[in-house]
Amino acid sequence: MTDQNQPLLLEISALNKNFGGLRAVKNFELSIHKGELVGLIGPNGAGKTTVFNLITGIYVASSGTIKFKDQNMVGIPPFEITRTGIARTFQNIRLFPNLTVLDNVRIAYHSHAGYNLLDAIVRTPRFFHHEKELTERAQDFLGVFNLQDRQGEIAKNLPYGEQRRLEIARALAAEPQLLLLDEPAAGMNSKEVVTLMELIHFIRDRFKLTILLIEHQMRVVMGVCEWITVMDFGEVIARGNPAEIQSDPKVVEAYLGRGAAELAKKLSEKRSHVA
Amino acid sequence: MNLKANRSTIGFIGVSLLIIVFVQVLISVGVLSAFWATLISIGAVMGIVSLGLNLIYGFNGQFSLGQWGFYAIGAYTAADVTYRWSQEHSASGLVIVSLVVLLVGGSFLLIRYMLSRIRGLDPLSAFSLYLIGVVIAGFLAVKIGQFIINPVTAMFNILPASLAMQIIFFLAVLLAGALAAEVSFIFGMPVLTLGSDYFGIATLGFTIIVKVLLDNSDVLLGFEEMKGARGMVGIPKLTSWLWVSLFLLAVVIVTRNLLHSSNGRAMISVREDEIAAKAMGIDLAQQKTLTFVLGSFFAGLAGALYAHINGFLHPNTFNFIKSFDPMIIIVFGGLGSVTGTVMAAFAWALVLEGVLRLVLPTGFETWRFVVYPVLLLIMMLLRPKGLFGAFEFPFLRQVLPPLRKSQGSAATTPKPTIAEGD
Amino acid sequence: MEKSTTAPPVSFFQRIIRGRWIGKFMLAAISILVTVGIAFKASQSPALFFQQLINGLQLGFVYALIALGYTMVYGIVRLINFAHGDVFMVGAFVSYFAIANFQLHAWPSAVIPEINPVISLVIGTISVIFLAMATCGFLAVTIERVAYKPLRDAPRISALITAIGVSFFLEYFGALPFVFTSNFITYKRPFEVTTWYIQNGIHHLEAGVEAPTGSVLFSNILIIIIIISLLLLASLQFIVRRTKVGKAMRAVSYDKPTARLMGINVDGIISVTFAIGAALAGAAGVLYATAYPQVVFWMGITPGLKAFVAAVLGGIGSIPGALVGSLIMGQAEVLSAGYISTPMRDAIAFTILILVLLVRPTGIFGEPEREKA
C-alpha cells in the first residue's frame, strides 16, 4: 500500500508542549513518508489537536523538533508554515463565515496572487489578468468538490456537510503537500461518512497528497488510514497498522478503561501486559 | 473586467461627478448658504475619516479609537504647511514635512528590507529599531531642509500666487496623509499585537496623547504658530466643496478597488477568523498593519481638508470624546458598508450640526447634546446593524464571476458520491 | 535523507532575537531613565517626594473606587461602560445638594440636639455617602435596563456606542440650567479640614499658619478617604467571595449560558453588578468632591478615564488589579505633575498604560488570552 522507500515528509521528534504546569504533549514522535495516509487517534483530551496546532505553528513547541521537508518548523509563524506546504482543517469548522464560498477559496491564493496592492488600487492589466486566473482556478476547485453552483453563497449559510467540504477545498487550494484533517467526520451521519471516506481517498490520489488525520470514528480511521498512532495523556502509546492497533491492549485500555482492557485480555489470552 | 462591471463603473463615476457639480452649482448660485456648504464639506470630510475607520474596524476587525488622533495629526500638519506659506511666505513647512515624510518612509523601507531576513523578530524589538530609524531620518530631514527652503520658496514665488497656494495645499493634504500613515505604521507595529479591546484602549490612549501634545504644541513641541490650547488661527480657507468631494470620490474608489482584490479578501479574512486566516497563509501582522496604515492615511487626508474649511483649529476638536464620532458613523452606516459609511457621514453632519441647530428653539441650543444621545439610543435599539446593513451601490458591490460550466480538466472528474452532502 | 537531530548551534544574534531582547532593552532603558530621574529629584527634596506620594495615595484610592465599577461591569458583560464616569459625577452632585440644600450631614444633631457633635457628623457624613451610593446604584440599574439590556444580543459595538450616548446624555442633561447648570460650583464639605504635618513627629497645623519647610502635610480627608475606601473594598471583596450573589456574579462572568442553566437569574445578577459598581462610584464622587471641592457637569470625564486606565492597567475584570492599577495611576499622576510636566500628565498616564500592555497584553493581573484552535 505505502512505499516505505518514499522520502520522509514530516518527522517529529521529542516534541513537548507545556501549558503552565500541564504537559499537554510529552515526547511525541511521528514520522510520515510521502504519500502516506496516517491517523492520529486517542481519547478526548489526549493532545491530538495540540499536536496539530504545534505542526501548524499556532502553538510554539516547548522543546523538540518538527521537520517538514528537512526543515525545522518550530518557531516559524503559521502563515509561513502554510506557505511551505502544510494545510489543515479544524475540528469545529473555521470558514470565513460572512464571505462567499468563492472568496473562501480565493483567500488561499493570496500569498501567490501575482499582483500587489498598487495593482489592485489602480486596476492595472496585471490585476485583471491574475484576478481572472485565480478566480478560475478557485472555480475549478469548487467544481472538484461539486460546490461550483454555490460560489455566491455566504459560507455560513451552507449546510454542515458542504461546509466541511468547503473547508477541505479551501485547505487544498493552498496547494499543500501535507494535509492535516482534524476530525473531518465529526457530526456526520453514516451516509455522509462513507462519502467523506471516498473523498479522502479521492483527494489523496488526485492531488498526490500526504494526509494526517485525527478522527474519533473508528470506521473512518480503520477504513482509510494506513498507519495509526495512538495518543493518551499527551504521549504516544501505540503505533502500527489498523489491524495491530485494534488488537493492542493498551489502546483498548486507553479508550475503554482498565476493566474493559482486562476483559479484552482475558478474552484474547494471548499476550500479557501490565500497564 | 466584463461589460456589466464597466457599465456600473461608468455609471457610478458619472453620477458622482454629476452630484458633485450639481452641489457646486447650488453653492455658487447661492441656493446653499455658506452655513450649509460648510456642513456638507464637513460631511465629506467625515466620510473620508469614517471610510478609513471602516477599513480598520469594519473590514479588518481592529477596534481602533485612534482614528481621531491621526485626523488631528493630518489637520495640524497640513495647517502648518499652508500657514507658513500664506502668513510667513516661506515654504519651510512644505520642505521640512516632505523631507520628513520621504526620509522616514525611506528608512522604513530600508529597515523593513533588512528585517525581512530575520525570522521571528518580535514586534516590540522591530518597533525599537524602526524608532531609531525615525529619529535619524527626522534629524537628517530637518538638517537637509535648512538648505533647500529658500530655493523652494523662490521656485513657488515664480508661479502665480493663487496657483502656488493651491499646489501647496494639495501637496500639504497628501503629505498630511502620508505623515499620519507613517505615524500609524510605527505606532501600530507593537500595538496591533494586542487583543481587540486592549488595542482599542491603546489607540484611545494615542488619541489622548496627541490631543495633549497639541494642547502644548507651542511650549513643548516648539511650534509657535499652533498656539497650543489657544487654538491655531490664520489657516487659509482653501477647502472648497470641489476639493473635498473629489478626495472623497477618490477614497471611495480606492477603498472599493482594494476590497475587491486579493488584498481586500485577505484583510477581511482577518476579521472573519484570525486562526483560519493564519492557517490559510495570511500574514496577520502584515494585513493588520497595512489596513491600519491605509485607514490612518485617509484620516490624515480628512484632517488636512478639515483644517482648511474654517481656517481655525483647536485641540478640543480632537478631544477623545469626539473620537467616537467616526465610530458612531460607521456603526450607523453599517459596519463593512462603504455606501452606508458615506451616507451616514453626511447624515451625521447635516443632522447634528445643521438640523438640530435649526429645529431647537432659541434658548434650547444646549439641548442639542441631550437630543443627540437620545437619537443615538433610539437608532441603536431600532437598527443595531446600521442603516444600510451590508447594502452597497452596484459599483461598490462585489461582482460575482460567471459560473464555469465543467469544461476544464479539473472539473470533469468529481466523484458522483461527493455531491451528496446531506 | 535523515539529518542528525542535534539542534543547530544558536548564535548570539539569534539569541537576541528569540529572547526579544531589543524590545526589552528599550523598555528597560526607558524605565531606568524615568526611575533615575525621579530618584534624583526625590533625593533633592525628600519631603516634597513624600508629599507627592501621599497626594497620590489619596487620588489612587478614589480612582480605585471608580475603577472597580469599570472592572466589574467589563468582567460580567464585556462592556466598557463609558457612562460610569458620569455616574461618579452624579454621585458628587447628589452629595452636594444633600449637604448644601438639605444639611443631610447634620441630621442627627437636628433630630436629637443633645447628641455628641462628632458622632452626629460621622453618622451624617455616612448618610450622605449612602445616599450618593444609593442614588448612583439606582441610576445605573435604570441605565442598564433602558439602554444596555435590549442590546445584550446585539454586536458589542452597539452597546459601546449606547454607553457613549448615555455618557453624553448624563453630561449634557446635567448641564441644563435647571439640573446641575453648566457652572463650576464650590462644594461644601460636610466636615472641617484638619491638617497635620510630619516633622520629627506629627503636629497639628493651625489654620492660617504656614507649615514649616521640609515637612510633609496630610489632612483628615486623606485618612477618611483611605478608611472609607478600604471599608468599601473589603465589603466588596466579601460580597464577591463569600456571598451567594458574589458566587453567582463570578459564575455569570465565567459562562452566561451555563449560569442560566444552573438557575441563576442572569439579568438580575447583571443589574446587581451595575448597582454595586455605580454605588462605589457614587461614594468615590463624594470623596473626590471632598478632596477637590468643586463640582461641574463634566467632572466625571477625566477621573473616569483615569480610573478606566487604571482598571485596564491592573487587568480589567480583576478586583485586586483595579486597586493596584489605581494606586499606580494615582502615583503616576502626581509624580508626573510634580516632576515632569503638569499638562502632560494625561498623556503620561496613557503612555504608562501602553507600555505595560506591551509587556503584559492583558494588564498586570489579567489572565492571558489563549488562542484556541
Q: Residues B78-87: pLDDT tens digits?
A: 999 999 999 8
In a domain, A267, yes or no: no
pLDDT at C34: 87
Burial B362-374 (b: 16+ CB within 10 A, else e): eeeeebebbbbbe
- Residue A273 — very low, low, confident or very high, per pLDDT cuts 50/70/90? very low
Q: Is the ipTM of this complex over 0.90?
A: no
Q: Nearest chain C residue to B366 by CA: give it.
A: C176
CA distances in angstroms from B359 to B42, B355, B363, B364, C175, listed in the order given: 20, 6, 12, 10, 20
Q: Are B125 and B188 in contact (CB under 8 A)?
A: no
Instruction: Say if B55 falls within a structural domain.
Output: yes
* C75 touches C238 (CB < 8 A): no
pLDDT in the model for residue A4: 61
Overall size of chain C counted in residues: 373
Contact C260/C233 with Cβ under 8 angstroms?
no
A121 part of a folded domain = yes
pLDDT at B421: 38
Contact B354, B36 (CB under 8 A): yes
Give, in order, the Cα–Cα distances in Å from B231 to each of B87, C245, C298.
Answer: 16, 52, 21
User: Are the CB atoms for A273 and A265 separated by under 8 Å?
Assistant: yes
pLDDT of residue A275: 40
Q: Is C179 helix (H, G, I), strand (E, B) or coil?
A: coil
Domain that holds residue B392: 32-397
Measured between CB atoms, does C18 come within 8 Å of chain A? yes
Tell whether the model's pLDDT for residue C226 goes beyond 90: yes
Percent of chain B surpassing pLDDT 90:
50
Examine the pLDDT at A1 and tell me if it is beyond 50: no
Q: In this predicted structure, what is the pLDDT of residue C372?
A: 53
Query: What's the domain range around A212?
Result: 1-85+179-243
| Strand boundaries in B170-219, DSSP class E | none
Tell me if B190 and C23 make a contact (CB, 8 A cut-off).
yes
Residue at B418 is within a domain: no
Full DSSP string of A227-259: EEEEEETTEEEEEE-HHHHHT-HHHHHHHH-HH
* Number of domains within chain C: 1
Judge whether A29 is closer than 8 Å to chain C, CB to CB.
Answer: no
Domain assignment present for residue C10? The answer is no
Chain C contact set for A75 (CB, 8 A): 18
A191 and A77 belong to one structural domain: yes
pLDDT at B210 over 80: yes
Beta strand spans in A89-145 (E): none
Least-confidence region, from A53-62, B13-22, C6-15: C6-15
- State whether A115 and B262 contact (CB < 8 Å): yes
Chain B residues interacting with chain A (CB cutoff of 8 angstroms)? 1, 119-120, 254, 257-258, 261-266, 268-269, 272-273, 275-284, 290, 398, 400-401, 403-404, 406, 408, 410-411, 413-415, 417-422
Query: Has residue C80 been placed in a domain?
Result: yes
Higher pLDDT, C310 or B357: C310
pLDDT top residue among C89 and B376: C89
Nearest chain B alpha carbon to A86 = B279
> What local confidence, expressed as pLDDT, does residue A269 receive?
64
pLDDT number for residue A265: 67
- Min Cα separation B355/chain C (Å): 18
CA distance B72 to chain C (A): 15
Average pLDDT over residues C344-353: 88
| Alpha helices by DSSP H, B232-355 | 241-259, 262-272, 274-279, 284-310, 324-333, 338-348
Stretch C43-66: mean pLDDT, rounded?
A: 90
The grid cell for B263 is 488584498
Tens-place pLDDT, residues C227-265: 999 999 999 999 998 999 999 999 998 888 899 999 899
From residue A126, give the alpha-carbon distance in Å to each of A133, A150, A264.
11, 28, 66
The Cα B172–Cα A135 span in angstroms is 40
| Number of compact structural domains in chain B | 1
Flag whether pLDDT at C1 surpasses 60: no
Helical residues (DSSP H) of chain C, grouped into ranges: 12-18, 21-44, 46-77, 84-100, 107-111, 117-143, 156-174, 220-242, 244-254, 256-261, 266-291, 301-314, 319-335, 345-359
Domain count, chain A: 2
Integer Cα distance of A77 and B118 in angstroms: 12
Q: Residues of C numbered 2-31 whose beta carbons fall under 8 angstroms of chain B's beta carbons: which are they?
A: 17-18, 20-27
Specify whether A2 is located in the same domain as A76.
Answer: yes
pLDDT at B18: 93
In sequence order, what are the residues at sequence separation of 6 or more whose Cβ sits closer than 8 angstroms to the Cβ of residue B225? Answer: B80, B83, B84, B87, B88, B232, B234
Residue predicted with more confidence, B369 or B400: B369
pLDDT at residue A141 is higher than 80:
yes
Q: Which pLDDT belongs to residue B377?
A: 85
Question: Domain for residue A207, yes or no?
Answer: yes
Average pLDDT over residues B405-420: 42
Last residue of a domain, one of A121, A143, A175: A175
The predicted pLDDT at position C5 comes to: 45
Find the domain containing C297 and state its range: 23-35+46-359
Q: What span, in angstroms and rounded, lies between the C-alpha atoms of B262 and A128?
A: 11
Please name the amino acid found at residue C366: G
Residues in chain B: 422
Residue A65 belongs to what H/E stretch? strand A63-68
Chain segment B163-182, per-residue pLDDT in tens? 999 999 999 999 999 999 99
Report percent pLDDT > 90 for chain C: 42
Nearest CA-CA partner of C310 in C278, C346, C342, C341: C346
- Please indicate, yes or no, if residue A227 is contained in any of the structural domains: yes
CATH code at position A11? 3.40.50.300
B1 falls in which pLDDT band (50, 70, 90)? very low
pLDDT tens by residue, A230-241? 988 888 888 888
Looking at residue B314, its pLDDT comes to: 92
Extract the C-alpha cell encoding C278.
455605580
Question: Does C1 map to a domain?
Answer: no
How many Cα atoms occupy the beta-carbon half-sphere of B316 within 13 Å? Answer: 4
**Nearest-angstrom CA–CA distance, A60 and A78:** 10
Q: Return the pLDDT at B299.
A: 96
- Nearest Cα neighbor of B302 from B31, B29, B72, B6 is B72
Residue listed under C-alpha cell 525581512: B116
Answer for the pair B103, B141: CB distance below 8 angstroms, yes or no: yes
Mark whether A44 and A167 lie in a shared domain: no
Chains contacting C with at least 3 CB pairs below 8 Å?
A: A, B
Q: Which residues contact B257 (CB under 8 A, 6 or more apart)?
A: A120, A121, A122, A123
A71 plus A207 within the same structural domain: yes
Residue C226 within any structural domain of the chain = yes
Residue-wise pLDDT for B70-128, tens only, equals: 999 999 999 999 999 998 888 888 999 999 999 999 999 999 998 888 777 788 888 99
Between the CA of residue A268 and those of A222, A245, C105, what are the distances in Å?
20, 14, 87
State the number of CA atoms in the 13 A half-sphere of A62 facing the CB. Answer: 14
In a domain, C12, yes or no: no
Q: State the DSSP H helix or E strand holding residue A83, giving kind and residue range, or none if neither.
A: helix A78-84
Q: Are A189 and A234 part of one and the same domain? A: yes
pLDDT value at residue A150: 87
Q: Which residue has the higher pLDDT, B5 or B58?
A: B58
Q: Specify if A226 maps to a domain.
A: yes
- Domain-located, residue A107: yes
Distance from CA of C182 to the nearest CA of B (A): 10
Instruction: Assess A49–C contact: CB distance below 8 Å, yes or no.
Output: yes
Subunit contact C354:B205, Cβ cutoff 8 A: yes
Distance from CA of A139 to the nearest CA of B (A): 7
| pLDDT category of residue C370 using cuts at 50, 70 and 90 | low
Query: Does residue B342 carry a pLDDT above 90?
Result: yes
Q: Please report the pLDDT score of residue C322 as a whole number.
A: 92
**Residue A128 included in any domain:** yes
**pLDDT at B187 (0 to 100):** 94
A219 at the B interface (CB within 8 A)? Answer: no
Measured CA distances, B161 to B82, B164, C259 (Å): 13, 5, 72
For residue B339, which amino acid is it? T
